[in-house]
Amino acid sequence: MVTKNQIKLVVSLKQKKYRSQHKLFVVEGEKMVNELLYSDCKPFRIFVNDPKLLEKFENAALVSSKVLGQMSNLAHPNGVLGVFYMMQEEEKVNPDWVVVLDTVRDPGNLGTIIRLCDWFGIQELVCSKDTVDCYNPKVLQATMGSIARVNITYADLDNYLKNTSLPVYGAYMDGDSIYDVQLPQKGVLVMGNEANGVSDEVGSYITAKISIPQFGGSTTESLNVATATGILLNEMRRG
């Protein structure tokens, strides 16, 4: 039995303040829900709109398509919606590389970067406090479940970078070519805001500026921040 209060709670999680208040977030789709169920992420409740799906998800609640539509963040809900407890920040491991995001605002970019970190085995992702919320529904959809396998923290970057013992590399348009730089085994990669790049304050902690050389025409102003992150991480792993 699903109560009106439960429905109201799930609907409220569309807003960041209620996600933060209840320490809950929503993911949608059978694949995404299963990804989180197979991880260390703790489920609060799973909702489905087809009785056949009850067999696939233990203790799932059956709701009408109308109710699922109210809960969903999608224009066309796909039948399975999971509410999960937010993951606890893990004790810092001794990572080889850390990715730091300075005011990345686009949900799709953050979600893709989380997925890239998962792909390249980056365990630590540190975001400035004004970076988009990692539990934003659009971010979660873009992660394709990788949210459960990357330790994400929001921090004062000034304080974080001041105290790190690792060399700090920043992505710039005018930095040294990533193909010419001898990269260390461990370090911090700082990626900047979509429009303005790395801020001056954060830039004061950069040990070395790196860039991705342009081989095509000069009409393209810059690379998308998620695309650039993928290229740089590939080079770091290759080296």
Q: Give CA–CA dist 13/24, Å, rounded.
A: 7
Predicted TM-score (pTM) of this structure: 0.93
The single residue listed with the structure tokens 């348009």 is 173
Range 20-37 average pLDDT: 95
Q: Give CA–CA dist 140/200, Å, rounded.
A: 30
Look at residue 127 in the predicted model and tell me its pLDDT.
Answer: 98
Mean pLDDT, all residues of the chain: 94
- Asked if residue 63 lies in contact with residue 48, where contact means CB atoms within 8 angstroms, the answer is yes
- 190 closest CA partner among 127, 105, 235: 127
Q: Alpha helices of the chain — where are they, by DSSP H?
A: 4-12, 16-22, 30-37, 65-71, 107-119, 137-143, 157-163, 200-203, 225-238
Most confident of 87-96, 114-123, 215-224: 114-123
Domains and CATH numbers, the chain: 4-85 (3.30.1330.30), 97-238 (3.40.1280.10)
CA distances from 41 to 34, 81, 143, 215 (A): 10, 15, 15, 43
Most confident of 1-5, 193-197, 212-216: 193-197
